[in-house]
Amino acid sequence: MLDVSRVQKELMEVERDKLSGVSIQILGSSLSHMQGTIEGPSGTPYEGGVFTIDIQLPSAYPFEPPKMQFITRVWHPNISSQNGAICLDILKDQWSPALTLKTALLSLQALLSTPEPGDPQDAVVAEQYLKHYSTYVSTARYWTETFAKRSSIGLQEKVMKFVEMGFSEDAALGALQSTGGDENAALEKLCSG
Amino acid sequence: MPTKRILCKYFKQGACFKGDGCEFSHDWRDPDCNVCTYYQSGNCAYGSSCRYEHVKLKRPESVTPARTSTVAAHTNFGTVGATSGALSRSSGGNSEAWQNNLSSADIAWQEHSPFASYNGGWQEAVSYASADEGWPLPSSSFQIRNEVEDTPKYNDPSEEPICALAATGRCTRGESCPYLHGDRCSLCGKECLHPHRPEERDEHRRQCERNQKRLEALRFSQDIECSICLDRVLSKPTNAERKFGLLSGCDHPFCISCIRDWRSTSQPQGSGSDAIVRLCPVCRVLSYYVIPSVIWYSNVEEKQEIIDGYKARVRDIDCKHFDFGNGRCQFGTSCFYKHAFRDGTTEEVKLRHLGAADGNTVIAKDVRLSEFLGRLNLRR
């Protein structure tokens, strides 16, 4: 049974603390599925990007870690460039119930600034990081510019664009949310589904 | 003396001033008499919601005054009601006469009841007593006592009882009160220190200090939050949840239920002493045990006091895992509970010391067949 009161407290805490650059939106009616966003840390190739993370809370939360995965595509040795899977000990065997969604998201932010190529999730990125560091930096920056930049137009306008194309508003909104606001990915999803 | 085996009602509330002289027991292990007196006569106004037990006591075949006074003494409030009825009959409700009457008699009830000089309850008590037809009135016993002890003289000043109302801070008579008023306790502010009973004074002071300390600690504990559920521990809905779990290794506060839940979370990868669940969720310091406590502590001495108190309490309880030698307790010699066999002998532990290959000495654990079987499965 999910500890609803604790999750609500955590969400309130995130809401209150605007300075951390972390935010969480609830998806659907239950508290078990939500989406978090973090800002790319300054002084890294991820600076200026906003990264969306899918969060699934298991029923035993907080005694089990939340399941987190990057929705926004990111070039990082410890994050899969294919599916966004994260290699971070506190989300696995080093989880502690004193950690919260906010601290976990902040840890992801810290992970972005301090990659651990020795314990990689994505071997290709890790190899590039170790052997051709400058290529890694430029690739990561390019991916941030391409996938993690908040486009100049807002979500509502994007939805309207899809509605003009002939999709229903609900479907367009759902597709955009599940792809983290990426228009091309959302269009692909709408066409395939 | 039958009443010596019944727990004193006033002692239970921390307000008996008779000390060793009390005819009731001051030993917590003795049962208290919780029988409703009004039910005995069949007219308890509270009915099923009465806080006292509604059971019929076996009535004595022939009522002797001595027996009656015993029954009356069993139920302190009943004594007041019944006697006051008897008194008001003899005095005709005249308060002058009553005063005279009272001063010379019935030390037994006046000294043992806080309602003794409570005038407001007087009429009420009379009506209760007069309705008490089926139950023998203890008036006869008190009249007998009147004749015996005409004027109470106290050879030793320490025998003189103090005004029970003043001791609870409710005596309105002040200087005109016919009873001895105790000295004021500087801690609780009540006139309850008997001037001629030094042990009792010390005991009261100690009790007061303990209470004060506990109150202070409780107030301090109110705001402490559990780091797992993020709630204030003492604001949890049920009584069982309003307890802290003290970790032996560090000073981070948790609810007992939260920290126990976490420590019992299954950890397949590391089940040894370094398993993550045995570390503090906040600082990751290893703790070997968790101690439940209603209050939180502010320094090391208080923490040690809580731990020692808990250990002392459970040391007398038989370990359910050891089960008088039939079971096997995984905590072995470190178990806080009692490991004793049915005949009362305690478990003797023989530790087998083995020299390990690296020259260190290790303590051999009991080897179980299942450990080998588990390894066999893995190899396949």
The burial of A33, by beta-carbon neighbours within 10 Å (0-12 exposed, 13-18 middle, 19 or more buried), is given as middle
Residues A94 and A162 in one domain: no
∠B144-B148-B154 over CA atoms, to 5°?
135
Greatest extent of chain A over all pairs of C-alpha atoms, in Å: 48
DSSP-assigned states of every residue in B230-274: -SBGGG-SSGGGS-EEEESS----EEHHHHHHHHTS--SS--STT
When scoring B229, B230, B231, B250 by the number of chain A Cβ atoms within 10 A, the one with the most, hence best to mutate, is B230
Counting every residue, how long is chain A?
Answer: 193
Q: How far apart are CA A192 and CA B16, in angstroms?
A: 84
Domain spans, chain B? 34-152, 155-221, 233-314
Q: Which residues have C-beta within 8 Å of that of residue B336, sequence separation ≥ 6?
A: B289, B310, B311, B314, B315
Residues A136 and A98 in one domain: yes
Whether B284 sits inside 8 A of A96 (CB atoms) is: yes
Neighbours of B137 (CB within 10 A): 19
The burial of B163, by beta-carbon neighbours within 10 Å (0-12 exposed, 13-18 middle, 19 or more buried), is given as buried
pLDDT of A40 over the 70 cut: yes
Residues A133 and A181 in one domain: no
Query: Domain count of chain A?
Result: 2
Nearest CA in chain A to B253: A98
Whether A96 sits inside 8 A of B279 (CB atoms) is: yes
Active site (catalytic) residues of A? 87
Helix count and strand count (H, E) for chain A: 7, 4
Helix (H) or strand (E) run with residue B85 in it: helix B76-91
Two tokens, residue B157: 């000043």
Residues A174 and A117 in one domain: no
Q: How far apart are CA B112 and CA B86, in angstroms?
A: 18
Q: How far apart are CA B165 and CA B176, in angstroms?
A: 13
Per-residue pLDDT of chain B (380 residues; tens, 9 = 90+): 456 678 887 777 777 777 777 878 887 777 777 778 788 777 888 888 888 888 777 654 444 444 434 343 444 444 343 444 434 344 344 444 444 444 444 444 444 444 444 444 444 444 444 444 444 444 444 444 444 444 456 777 777 888 888 887 778 887 788 888 888 888 887 888 888 888 888 888 888 888 888 888 888 888 899 999 998 888 888 888 889 999 988 999 999 999 999 988 876 554 454 578 888 999 989 888 899 998 898 888 889 999 999 999 998 888 888 888 888 888 877 888 988 888 888 877 777 777 777 777 777 766 666 666 665 555 44
Domain holding A28, by residue range, is 4-148
Residues A111 and A173 in one domain: no
Chain A hits for B231, CB-CB cut-off 8 Å, are 5-6
Two tokens, residue B344: 């009362």
User: Which pLDDT band holds residue A161 (cuts at 50, 70, 90)?
Assistant: confident
**Residue A38 and residue A53 in contact, taking contact as beta carbons nearer than 8 Å:** yes
Whether A97 sits inside 8 A of B276 (CB atoms) is: no
Span of A65-74, A148-157, B89-98, B195-204 with lowest mean pLDDT: B89-98
Q: Which residues have C-beta within 8 Å of that of residue B144, sequence separation ≥ 6?
A: B65
CATH number of domain containing A181:
1.10.8
Residue type, B34: N
**Residue A148 and residue A74 in contact, taking contact as beta carbons nearer than 8 Å:** yes
Span of A145-149, A178-182, B148-152, B178-182 with lowest mean pLDDT: B148-152
Residues A86 and A170 in one domain: no
Q: How far apart are CA B17 and CA B36, in angstroms?
A: 24
Q: How far apart are CA B324 and CA B302, in angstroms?
A: 34
Chain CA centroid to CA B205, Å: 18
Chain A hits for B258, CB-CB cut-off 8 Å, are 97
Q: Which residues pair with A35 in a beta bridge?
A: A25, A54
- Predicted ipTM of the assembly: 0.74
Q: How far apart are CA B44 and CA B374, in angstroms?
A: 67
Query: How many CA atoms lie within 13 Å of B374's alpha carbon, on the beta-carbon side?
Result: 5
Chain A hits for B247, CB-CB cut-off 8 Å, are none
Phi, psi (degrees; rounded to nearest 5) at B32? -100, 155
Chain A hits for B228, CB-CB cut-off 8 Å, are 6, 62, 97-98
- The CATH class for the domain spanning B233-314 reads alpha beta
Whether B262 sits inside 8 A of A10 (CB atoms) is: no
Shortest alpha-carbon distance between residue A94 and chain B (Å) = 7
Residues A74 and A141 in one domain: yes
Interface of A with B (CB under 8 A): 3, 5-6, 9-10, 60, 62-64, 93-99
CATH number of domain containing A120:
3.10.110.10
Residues A128 and A175 in one domain: no
Q: Is the peptide bond before A62 cis (omega within 30 degrees of 0)?
A: yes
Dihedral of CA atoms B362, B367, B371, B375 in degrees, nearest 10, equals 60
Q: How far apart are CA B220 and CA B232, in angstroms?
A: 12
Angle between helices B76-91 and B122-130 (to 10 degrees): 90
Whether A64 sits inside 8 A of B261 (CB atoms) is: no
Residues A118 and A184 in one domain: no
Residues A71 and A161 in one domain: no
Q: How far apart are CA A89 and CA A93, in angstroms?
A: 6
Two tokens, residue B189: 């502010």
Residues in B 122-151 with any Cβ partner in A closer than 8 A: none
Span of A63-72, A162-171, B40-49 with lowest mean pLDDT: B40-49
Q: Which of B262, B269, B270 sits opposite A97 (nearest CB)?
A: B262
Between chain A and chain B, the number of residue pairs with CB atoms below 8 A apart is: 38
